[in-house]
Amino acid sequence: MTTSHAASQQVRIGADLLRQNRLQLGAALLLALVATAGTLAVPLLVKDIISTFGQNETITRPVILMAAAALGSAAAAAASSYLLSRIGEFMVLRLRQRVMEHSLRLPMSTVRAQGAGNLVARVTSDAMLLRAVIDIGVVQLPLAALTVVFTLVVMAVLDWLLVLITVGSFALAGAAIGWVLIRVRRNIVEQQDAVGELAQRFTAYLAALPTIKAFRSEGRSASRLGESAQQLTGTSLVGARLQMWITPVMQLGQQVALVGVIIGGGARIASGDLSVPSFAAFLLYLLQLVSPVTVVATGIGRLQAGLAARTRFNEFFDLAQETAGAQPGLSAPQPRPGTAAVTFEDVSFSYTGVPVLDRVTFTAPRTGLTALVGPSGAGKSTCLTLIDRFMHPDDGKINILGHAITDWPLEELRSRVAYVDQQFTLLEGTVRDNLQLGRAEPASEEELATALEAVGLLQDLTSLPDGLDTTLGRENDLSGGQRQRLALARALLTDADIVLLDEPTSQMDSINEKRFRQVVDDLATTRAVMVVAHRLSTVQHADHVVMLTNGTLTDAGTHQTLMDRCSPYRDLVNSQQMQAA
Ligand SMILES: Nc1ncnc2c1ncn2[C@@H]1O[C@H](COP(=O)(O)OP(=O)(O)OP(=O)(O)O)[C@@H](O)[C@H]1O
């Protein structure tokens, strides 16, 4: 059963905005209307001033009115624009928060398929594009359209024939731009895909930087990245070639209108159908019309970009989150007494169609150390990831603490399983944050010290510049072995019933490996500890050994039983003893 957040996660800009910003949006709209009214009033006031000259009256009043209209309009426009920016920023904030949370709740396979860089591009550039929908679409565009209509109405009152000339000229330009805008939207989706692809490749190359440097591949890698950047540039240039027409075509429309209006207006004045002040006001309106008409034309282009970004967000929010397991609301199951910690029954699993585990059956008891051994690629790590439900078996049954794995709500399952992966991952955060990752409640100083002492890290970490509050990840990093021991201390600080350790001693020296064995033995007295290990010395004393070869179970039992009856295991042990000798 998947958590079907999809429908509720969709980006519904209109509904979202109205719900959360009703007052601010109303104020922004009102201020924008005031600004537009002020702008519209100015030419009429100019007409009054010209008429006043003819009547030999004082012009003080219309001049003051005109100045007040112009200044008031500017102030209202500024305030409206700030309010809109504010609404847009908060919408982008909420969207970014949702994208990041949704990304973290996706299944690992989906995150791998999407690529980290692609997800980063959503939070950065896609979110910025979507902001345009607020900046432009909510107030500016409707208001500009309204201004155009009002202006045309006032112009029609001044002279209907000249308005027909104006509308005809702009309509021709509009039709040409409409053709362009349809293509702009398609191009913007392609551009955003290319931005995601570039970010994805760059992130992957940065993650592999030590290898790139070690193999002197900076130049070759840079030129491959350059190719991705070139692809993006190619797509962006197609967009630029489309968009370059918008403003010139609008200006052309305006020039045609201007010439037509001047010729037509001249004829109308000569025939006595139009007064000079009205013609002056008409011309001012015509000049004023260009700005809102251009806002409409370019605004529709930016709106298209925002809507294209919205489509990408909706596709992203359609990705199903991790399966939640048991129905929400049902009380979480309790471990069944007397049952094994982990049971695999005929479990099969494949990565995108390639079989990795084939009907694997084994049991890990409730307490004690279970070792998963076998040649490289046998499927040992895959078994651990299935236990933490990062992935699902294609077939077979996995039971955890007496219940089918899917009967556990995901959160509950993971609170009962502590997992130390092969990369002994550290988060960018303080040592303390890293240690407490699996805990609901913060650990006391004493608990932290005990866990660090147990893995032999107390001295190393307390002598860092800020002790346990030192931030790891950028300037301060730990050695491979220290990372491994910190990851183990993190598992010690949880009260998980099952501890999964994937290659936990691969980077430890012999002193720390010995210490590790002691820690694991102590842990295994009260919990189930499952260890994947290549170095059999780490796990030879295990209560239970499970050997896998090529995705199938070879044998399971104590070390001695397997030595007696399982020749592949014997060979594995002997080959390591020979290497050690
Ligand atoms: N993300 C993945 N996508 C596709 N195939 C994968 C993925 N991870 C592992 N595999 C494949 O699954 C098989 C089992 O891998 P797994 O890591 O479980 O083996 P392992 O026994 O732990 O190996 P090792 O001891 O080398 O760590 C291998 O053939 C591997 O190539």
Q: Give the pLDDT score at 552.
A: 94
Q: How many A from CA of 455 to the centre of ligand 1?
A: 28
Q: Decide if 331 is inside a domain.
A: no
Q: Decide if 332 is inside a domain.
A: no
Ligand 1 first shell, C-beta below 6 A: 351, 356, 374, 376-382, 532
Q: Decide if 305 is inside a domain.
A: yes
Q: What residues are paired with 370 via a beta bridge?
A: 530, 544
Q: Are residues 199 and 346 in the same domain?
A: no
Domain boundary among 283, 317, 351: 317
Domain boundary among 317, 333, 350: 317
Q: Are residues 347 and 283 in the same domain?
A: no
Q: Decide if 349 is inside a domain.
A: yes
Q: How many A from CA of 381 to the centre of ligand 1?
A: 7
| SS3 state at 506 | coil
Q: How many A from CA of 351 to the centre of ligand 1?
A: 9
Q: Give the pLDDT score at 330.
A: 58
What does the block give as tokens for 475?
């300037």
Going by CA atoms, what residue is nearest to atom 1 of ligand 1? 351
The helix (run of H) or strand (run of E) holding residue 354 is strand 354-364
Nearest residue to 491 via CA among 436, 571, 549, 560:
436
For position 77, which CATH number holds? 1.20.1560.10
For position 460, which CATH number holds? 3.40.50.300
Nearest residue to 546 via CA among 401, 396, 379, 399:
379
Helices (H), 410-479: 410-416, 431-435, 445-454, 458-462
Q: How many A from CA of 401 to the centre of ligand 1?
A: 26
Q: How far apart are CA 297 and CA 206, in angstroms?
A: 41
Q: Are residues 352 and 225 in the same domain?
A: no
Q: How many A from CA of 579 to the centre of ligand 1?
A: 24
Q: Are residues 172 and 252 in the same domain?
A: yes
Q: Decide if 548 is inside a domain.
A: yes
Question: pTM of the prediction?
Answer: 0.74
Q: How many A from CA of 102 to the centre of ligand 1?
A: 26
Domain boundary among 274, 302, 317: 317
Q: How far apart are CA 366 and CA 401, in angstroms?
A: 8
SS (H, E, C) 206-235: HHCHHHHHHCCCHHHHHHHHHHHHHHHHHH
For residue 167, give its domain range. 10-317
Cα 360 from chain centre: 37
Nearest residue to 267 via CA among 178, 348, 162:
162
Q: Give the pLDDT score at 1.
A: 39
Q: How far apart are CA 457 and CA 436, in angstroms?
A: 15
Q: What is the ipTM of this complex?
A: 0.95
Q: Are residues 370 and 312 in the same domain?
A: no
Q: Are residues 386 and 531 in the same domain?
A: yes
CB 542 within 8 A of CB 531: yes
Q: How far apart are CA 261 and CA 453, in angstroms?
A: 88
Going by CA atoms, what residue is nearest to atom 12 of ligand 1? 356
Q: How far apart are CA 366 and CA 384, in angstroms?
A: 16
Which atom of ligand 1 is closest in space to residue 422's alpha carbon?
27
Going by CA atoms, what residue is nearest to atom 10 of ligand 1? 351
Which atom of ligand 1 is closest in space to residue 385's alpha carbon?
18
- HSE toward the beta carbon, residue 31, CA cutoff 13 A: 18
- HSE toward the beta carbon, residue 480, CA cutoff 13 A: 9
Cβ-Cβ contacts under 8 Å for 338 (sequence gap 6 or more): 402
Cβ-Cβ contacts under 8 Å for 171 (sequence gap 6 or more): none
Q: Are residues 307 and 350 in the same domain?
A: no
Q: Are residues 346 and 306 in the same domain?
A: no
Q: Decide if 192 is inside a domain.
A: yes
Q: How many A from CA of 398 to the centre of ligand 1?
A: 19
Q: Decide if 322 is inside a domain.
A: no
Q: Are residues 292 and 366 in the same domain?
A: no
Going by CA atoms, what residue is nearest to atom 25 of ligand 1? 376
Q: Are residues 35 and 99 in the same domain?
A: yes
Q: Decide if 21 is inside a domain.
A: yes
| Order of strands across the sheet that contains 395-400 | 354-364, 342-351, 395-400, 403-404
Q: Are residues 362 and 296 in the same domain?
A: no
pLDDT in tens, the chain (581 residues): 344 444 455 666 556 655 677 788 888 888 988 988 888 888 888 888 888 777 777 778 878 888 888 899 999 989 988 888 888 888 888 888 989 999 999 998 898 888 888 888 888 888 888 877 777 777 678 778 888 888 899 899 989 889 999 999 888 888 888 888 888 888 888 888 898 889 989 988 998 888 888 888 899 999 999 998 999 999 999 999 988 888 888 888 888 988 999 999 999 899 988 888 889 889 988 888 888 887 887 787 778 788 888 888 888 899 988 876 555 555 678 888 889 999 999 999 998 889 999 999 999 999 999 999 998 889 999 999 999 999 899 999 999 999 999 889 888 899 899 998 877 677 778 888 888 887 778 888 888 888 888 888 888 888 888 888 888 776 667 777 788 888 888 888 888 899 999 887 776 677 777 777 888 888 888 899 999 987 777 777 788 999 999 999 999 998 889 989 999 998 888 887 655 54
Q: Are residues 277 and 350 in the same domain?
A: no
Q: How many domains does the chain have?
A: 2
